[in-house]
Structure 1
Amino acid sequence: MSFARKLFLFLLIVPLTLKAQLPPIGEWRMHLDYFAGKAITQSDKTIYCASPVSFFSIDKTDNVIIRYDKVSGLHDIGINTLSYDASDDKLLVAYANSNIDVLYKTDVYNIPDIKRKDINGDKNIYNIFFRNNKAFLSTGLGVIVADLEKYEIKETWLIGEGGNNVKVNGFTADNNLYYAATEEGLKTALQSSSNLTDYRNWTVVSGTANLSSGACKDVVNVNGKIILLKNDSLLVNNNGNWNLFYDDDFEMINLTVNNDKLVVTEKKGDYNDTRIIVVNANGIIERTVDRGDGFSHPLQAVADGNNIWATDLYIALQHKDGNSATETIIPNSPYGSLDGDMIAADGAMWVCGGSVDDAWNYQYNRTGLFRFKEDVWTPINQNIPAFQWMDTVYDIINVAIDPRDETIYAGSYGRGLAEIHTDKSFKVYKQNSAIGPTVGDPLAYRISGLRFDADNNLWISNFGSTQNLVVKKADGTWRAFTTPFLINENAVADIVIDDVNQKWIVSPKGNGLLCYNHGASIDNTNDDQWRRYLFGKGNGNLPSNQVNCIAKDKDGFIWVGTDKGIAVIQCTQDVFSGSGCEALLPIVQQDRFAGYLSNEIKRVAIDPKTGEVFITTFNGLCSFRSTATEGSDVNEDVLVFPNPVPPNYSGTIAIKGLVNNAIVKITEMDGRLVYQTRALGGQAIWNGKDYKGRKISTGVYLVLVADETNTEKTVAKIVFIR
């Protein structure tokens, strides 16, 4: 029997546990908002749906969803539109900053020319038309032609009056002419013209040929017929004259051409009524779906036979097949960018959806907070029946979980502190506690930081209050303190407790970072110590005084996120000693990809179980999996990732769930030693090579763990496929 056959049988008989897949060691992943829609396009087999942030695809046959982001090769974030070119099997993605990606087979080609070009005017890309391996981009400047063979910008046609910029809303072609629907009306040009960059080679059709003057919203080619959208009516070009093709009492939002038919997305008023119609080349409606079918705020739709797929203002993707019920498709994700506080507790990452602006003004954000556990995002906000009361507790920007009973404490920037019990009962603390009102805003109780210490005391940042540091002690009593530095607006925010029970407090508005040691007793302030960290050597060595976030890792290091990058404080025990303690500036990078969605970091949190570092930026939430994790007293739920190890995999293999600092041996089935290492905390890593640095062969390998008594136990099997 061949080894491949034996391996196949082994995979059949060995029990495999299906678990949420962690990213490999040293790799990034994105946690982007896919709830709202933005644009949609399709190939024969796949639907591509864009959210305002990124996009995903869904296979029409098996419904497999693939998410696309910077980790998977995209060069930017924030999408204006996207379109698929069936003739060349290429997907063009136009970003909000005018950057362009072209996806072809397994590659992503970037065309950054428009983004980089210093041009006055509107560079947004509004529409895309493909022809002869070129993309004709309708922009706020005019028509920009991209060469999709060389992946570069070929020409820019400024076709406004006098050669000025003009917004182009749509573009198409027939066998002879180019057609541009602009804010100055419909313009045409001979394709054979030698210089289409000269506006004088473009003819203004509007105002002639039975076509009124004024802006045109789009123009498309439907089975050889040129259809123009103007004043919410569709006009057709018949031998040089423009006649009515289709009209109704709806506002037409978008036109898409599929299989020689026109798919029109429509609404009345502020989405008081909506529908999607499929119109054939003769101007006859063949299909209608509307609000009664569940399409309440459609933005754009495509059709494929009896199937209609639509993206919605509030729903990423909807699908209706014939007379079947409408299907809602939203990849599990958080709402918004989630730039609030993050903590790891109860095997989950808790993330706040609330926010403040740079000036720390209220945003009246009612997103609430989210739990991320086993790769699933679960919301806790007023949209959930049990939490409707949270409608009045807006701007939840920080969270803490009581380690004794898993009670949730959610801090509202303006509406106090919410205490939520596991039975969903709740209490809100404001004037009924030591929490103080904001100076100059006496009805506001701003909670801007929360954290439990090792003694189960809850420490609270009370932004703007005269006593801006508060503690709810484990016995239920309260104390309040005033920071001893001159701090603009009494601004305090995130809190982290280090391994020697010191409190690290972010002081926003350019005030740096504070460290507080209350000494032997919270109630005795005589032995209290404070230190302030600021920019520059000798002052703490932060990259900037604008501190956005802090976190503590498994080694006890304090990570500091600023508007100029990350700093790490590794000597917390020496903060108040004679030698002192300054921050270091590390670099974390994977294949020249720093992983950040933005260089401006807002918050950092680390999951001690998995070693995953979560980082929020102004463009969204991402995470990086590091090597250190929290160990336990026994080996339980040992997880090897990836397993099986696929062909051509050259990354790091993680073995987690181990006892602290265990000795880990990788052996062949007959016990022959392949590799040996020691776990870092509760996790060991292996590069897939033997002790001589050679790649191992296809086969099944055992993971043996020895504790401090040298007792060995087989805890896992690893399958390698070369």
Structure 2
Amino acid sequence: MLQRILAFYCVALTFPFVSRAQLQPIGQWRDHLPYQQVTSVAYTTDKVWAATPYSLFSVDATDNSIERWSRTNGLSETGISAIGAEPTGNRILIAYNNSNIDVLVDDRVININSLKNASLSDDKSVKAVFLYQQLAYLATGFGIVAINLDKYEIKDTYIIGAGGTRIAVKAVTSDGTSLYAATAEGIKKASLTAVNLADFRNWQLISGTNGLPAGTIQSLASVQNNVLAVKNDSLWLQSGTNWSLLYRDGWNIKNCTVSGNRIMLSETSNNTGRVVVLTATGSFERTIQDAQLTRSPQQAVYFQNNCYIADTLAGLIAFSGTSFNRLVPDAPASIATGAMQVVHNTLWAAAGSVNANWEPVNNKNGLFRLSDNNWNSFNSSRLSILDTLSDVITLAIEPANESVWAGSFGGGLANIKNDNTITILKQNSVIQPAYFNRTSYRVSGLAFDADNNLWVANYGGENPVLVKKADGTWRTFIIPYALIEQAVSQIVIDDNNQKWIVLPKNNGLVCFNHGQSIDNPGDDQWKLYRSGIGNGNLPSTDVRCIAKDKNNFIWVGTAKGIGVIQCPQQVFTSTGCEAVLPIVQQDNFAGYLFSDEQVQAIAVDGADRKWVATQNGVWLISPDAEKTIYRFTETNSGLLSNDVKQIAIDGITGEVFFATAKGICSFRSTATETTETNSGVLVFPNPVPPGYSGTIAIRGVAENAIVKITELNGRLVYQTKALGSQAVWNGRDYKGRLISSGIYLVLTSDETHQQKLVTKIVFIQK
């Protein structure tokens, strides 16, 4: 049979290869950071650069193509405080919130970490960046740091406060002969040719003299070798040694920049904003204003006949003189640290959160959806009905129609249908207010069971467990234990239709079996799990998360590690079922699994491996927890933050999404959910291009199938076993040699040892 198959494909070499746009290669990261809140803008010879509180993107000035820059493709950090660019060069300096510095040049990232690593008790944060010739001057919380951009190192530090004290500097500029620094004491000036700018005595305080008012200055710029200074609603101009008021219109001036021989003022007043353009001599040229696109301008530059505006609400805006163009990468509107769920290649992410004491934080960012690589937001800015739905922290997708149920920690329960019609259950509904705050309707956990019943955790309610049956009727349940605040949260339903419910505030974990009928409370059974043998044997009663694996084991993440309940079907029998605390070998010592970690989320992939999120990064462990496969941190991967709040897995592609304290990122892993047969097998990349050295994914094979790569004549090249329904290959034969150009067959065999040809791979070598 195999020979006939091979003979057929030797004759018919044409094969319809399937492709998917933007399919993420295995082993690679991508970010899903917010890019709408643009705080500053700069330009190099051919690009405009926009910084957000999280990361950076560039816009090609010729075709408006957008490129993202983040930790996932080379930057050192997440969280930008300031940027500065060479207007006639190609270098851009990026200062981060933790005082780390990157210089991006020709798509290379050069890191300068000396300021970050300096042992200073002072405020090292960078407020502004000024590039002049080969130097970058950083305005910091303690003085000025000068960086040599040719050597990529710190050249000097200027401590310029009165008497040599450290003082905050907000901005730096130059008129070609002197440096000017906007400090808490006022503007200070020093000659560029001074022997030692680190000596405070070489810096002269000029505020309060020659017409310049005393006091703090917000920003500085220079036009035609004359310095401009912004103080509240006024713009002052230096001419020689004298200063005069150049412009004042009553609006608050957020920033002043000079480019294209124009002065650009970013202004705000109440809830409106605009950009005022002046000539180099201070004459009024025009006002740039749009009710939606310039509500909160922070900075503006003029480049190649366009005005580019950094706006914290609308993003990066280009104004051509007659029309506006919004330039923002497709992205969620904010970070999201609530629950995430993937259904049919669509990711839903809740943006809300609660504090450590389980109190609302009034986050109104709603929830986000990623589908076909496009993000959509569901919040009050788009749908006014969601204005009261703050702190969305839990989600459930209804299997019957894929409508979304979203739980708000204060605003009740919302149902968003596919046509975007929304129903909110709050007052005068089955959702109960917290008994200690009668205006707060706190939904903290949601899950559908196999019968399409929606189970709801109603934090603080007198009956904290609710269910909406498939017929639309509701039932409520009282947990028969004394619980602090009636605290309930995440719900997981096991293969026995038992409900496992996390009990925050150190209440532990409860298992609930409603018996033969939801409507009959007489056969309800409850089991409380706490720490200690005989009480459930959890590592800690401070339970943070739970997950069900493919063996129907319940994995319990706590503030002191993980416990595993391996016999949930025996919970209500005479033998009972207590948690097992796995012991793993780490280095030369054996210890309880994650005993020193606060486990914040657990997710199970298609190969039954466990992804574990902590405040110190994320782990992938083997199905039996005896082996660590990956450990990702900020320092060794594209993970945006070590503080990982939530994990969700796309079982079709194997992409793993991490909601971190600094935003969402994802990693395409090797395992996918299982399929019954070899249906819709997809190879990526295919054809394999010249020079490709990454991982090749063969997705859609039968569960745990043996996968063989052969030449057309049947000679075996490589053999592996699928993880779930995906096999991976590095493009080399069983001796580690890179294979030659040609067409290769992919053969699979399942547990019955029936071998089938499922697809082909084309290799193109130079």
TM-score normalised to structure 1 length: 0.87
**Judging changes above 3 Å, is the alpha-carbon distance between structure 1 residues 510 and 191 closer, same or farther for their aligned structure 2 residues?**
farther
Match of 2:162 in 1: 161
Q: CA deviation at 1:433?
A: 5.8
2:328 corresponds to which of 327, 330, 344: 330
Q: CA deviation at 1:197?
A: 2.5
CA shift digits 1:121-162 (9 cap, x unpaired): 543312111234332111222212234345443433221222
Match of 1:291 in 2: 290
Match of 1:348 in 2: 346
SS of 1:170's equivalent in the other structure is: strand
**Judging changes above 3 Å, is the alpha-carbon distance between structure 1 residues 531 and 382 closer, same or farther for their aligned structure 2 residues?**
same
Is 2:740 the counterpart of 1:697?
yes
The root-mean-square deviation of aligned C-alpha atoms, in Å, is: 3.4
CA shift digits 1:374-418 (9 cap, x unpaired): 22212233444xx53222333322121221222322222223222
Q: CA deviation at 1:463?
A: 0.7
TM-score normalised to structure 2 length: 0.83
Match of 1:658 in 2: 701
**Judging changes above 3 Å, is the alpha-carbon distance between structure 1 residues 558 and 578 closer, same or farther for their aligned structure 2 residues?**
closer
CA distance in 1 between counterparts of 2:563 and 2:265 reads: 52
CA distance in 2 between counterparts of 1:222 and 1:471 reads: 67
SS of 1:389's equivalent in the other structure is: helix
AA aligned opposite 1:309 = Y
CA distance in 1 between counterparts of 2:554 and 2:32 reads: 24
Is 2:58 the counterpart of 1:96?
no
Give 1:188-207 correspondences, 5 Å limit: 188-207=189-208
AA aligned opposite 1:530 = K
Is 2:683 the counterpart of 1:640?
yes
CA shift digits 1:494-549 (9 cap, x unpaired): 2222344443333333445444455665546657352526599997565x765544
Is 2:421 the counterpart of 1:379?
no
Match of 2:656 in 1: 613
1:467 corresponds to which of 463, 466, 470: 463
Q: CA deviation at 1:61?
A: 1.8
**Judging changes above 3 Å, is the alpha-carbon distance between structure 1 residues 341 and 145 closer, same or farther for their aligned structure 2 residues?**
same
Match of 2:407 in 1: 411
Kept in 2: contact 1:551–1:604 (CA 8 A): no
CA distance in 1 between counterparts of 2:639 and 2:480 reads: 35
AA aligned opposite 2:415 = E
SS of 1:390's equivalent in the other structure is: helix
Match of 2:316 in 1: 317
CA distance in 2 between counterparts of 1:388 and 1:234 reads: 39
Identity %: 42
Q: CA deviation at 1:309?
A: 1.2
Q: CA deviation at 1:561?
A: 6.0
Kept in 1: contact 2:47–2:59 (CA 8 A): yes
AA aligned opposite 1:301 = A
Match of 1:40 in 2: 41
**Judging changes above 3 Å, is the alpha-carbon distance between structure 1 residues 560 and 227 closer, same or farther for their aligned structure 2 residues?**
farther
CA distance in 2 between counterparts of 1:440 and 1:619 reads: 32
CA shift digits 1:442-485 (9 cap, x unpaired): 34331100011223222211111233222223344434334455
Kept in 2: contact 1:469–1:480 (CA 8 A): yes
**Judging changes above 3 Å, is the alpha-carbon distance between structure 1 residues 92 and 718 closer, same or farther for their aligned structure 2 residues?**
same
CA distance in 2 between counterparts of 1:563 and 1:599 reads: 16
Give 1:9-158 correspondences, 5 Å limit: 19-86=20-87, 89-117=90-118, 119-158=120-159
1:628 corresponds to which of 671, 676, 695: 671
SS of 1:76's equivalent in the other structure is: coil
**Judging changes above 3 Å, is the alpha-carbon distance between structure 1 residues 503 and 593 closer, same or farther for their aligned structure 2 residues?**
farther
Gaps of 5+ in 1: 1-12
Is 2:306 the counterpart of 1:307?
yes
Kept in 1: contact 2:745–2:757 (CA 8 A): no
Match of 1:7 in 2: none
Q: CA deviation at 1:229?
A: 3.2
Is 2:314 the counterpart of 1:270?
no
**Judging changes above 3 Å, is the alpha-carbon distance between structure 1 residues 531 and 686 closer, same or farther for their aligned structure 2 residues?**
farther
SS of 2:22's equivalent in the other structure is: coil
Is 2:210 the counterpart of 1:214?
no
CA distance in 2 between counterparts of 1:703 and 1:676 reads: 10
Deviates more, 1:567-576 or 1:501-510: 567-576
CA distance in 1 between counterparts of 2:174 and 2:420 reads: 60
CA shift digits 1:261-292 (9 cap, x unpaired): 24413325224352241533x33455542237
**Judging changes above 3 Å, is the alpha-carbon distance between structure 1 residues 225 and 439 closer, same or farther for their aligned structure 2 residues?**
same
Deviates more, 1:138-147 or 1:230-239: 230-239
Is 2:647 the counterpart of 1:604?
yes
CA distance in 1 between counterparts of 2:511 and 2:25 reads: 34
Deviates more, 1:672-681 or 1:242-251: 242-251
Deviates more, 1:47-56 or 1:591-600: 591-600
CA distance in 2 between counterparts of 1:332 and 1:157 reads: 41
CA distance in 2 between counterparts of 1:572 and 1:611 reads: 28
Gaps of 5+ in 2: 1-13, 583-592, 595-620, 622-627
2:631 corresponds to which of 589, 599, 615: 589
**Judging changes above 3 Å, is the alpha-carbon distance between structure 1 residues 161 and 559 closer, same or farther for their aligned structure 2 residues?**
farther
CA distance in 2 between counterparts of 1:627 and 1:555 reads: 20
CA distance in 2 between counterparts of 1:166 and 1:689 reads: 60
Match of 1:506 in 2: 502
Aligned length: 703
SS of 2:71's equivalent in the other structure is: coil
SS of 1:291's equivalent in the other structure is: coil
CA distance in 1 between counterparts of 2:69 and 2:663 reads: 14
Q: CA deviation at 1:48?
A: 1.3
AA aligned opposite 1:148 = L
CA distance in 2 between counterparts of 1:420 and 1:236 reads: 55
